[in-house]
Amino acid sequence: MAKCDEGYLCEICGEDVAELVESDMYLRYVIGMLDPEVLHTTPERHVRCNPTLAQFIVDDDFPPVTVAGDFDKRSLDPAFVRDRETLVTRGWRRLKQLAGQDLPIIDYPLPEVKARIAAKTPEIG
């Protein structure tokens, strides 16, 4: 089977990342943690297979994730946690919005991330 026919396999659990809303790679891209230039070389994971990021999703449709140890959000600065929860939750909700839509990948990110990408991309022409 050709690689493109296999879909995206999670580098942690080895299972298929079948839905956009399950994609850690696209979540990180949407919130600005992943440059669009490296999407094609970035390993995929399920959001829940990256608990240090998943713990910041606060939504009734996403069962809470907890992390033990130094990266547990309960042991981090409350202002940082509040900001990260806002950003990551917005990103996850953006993935839910994108599901089933036929948009160019450059239109996936949150508005402020899209603006940052556009500001550093030189115009062609």
Q: Cα(57)–Cα(65) distance, rounded to whole angstroms?
A: 8
Taking 70 as the threshold, does the pLDDT of residue 68 lie above it?
yes
Task: Pull the structure tokens for residue 27.
Answer: 């979540």
Taking 70 as the threshold, does the pLDDT of residue 80 lie above it?
yes
What percentage of residues in the chain have a pLDDT greater than 90? Answer: 82
Could you report the per-residue pLDDT of 83-107, keeping only the tens digit for each?
Answer: 999 999 999 999 999 988 999 999 9
Helix (H, G, I), strand (E, B) or coil at 67: coil
Closest-CA residue to 98 (of 118, 114, 77, 86): 114
pTM: 0.89
Domain borders along the chain are 3-113
Taking 90 as the threshold, does the pLDDT of residue 4 lie above it?
no
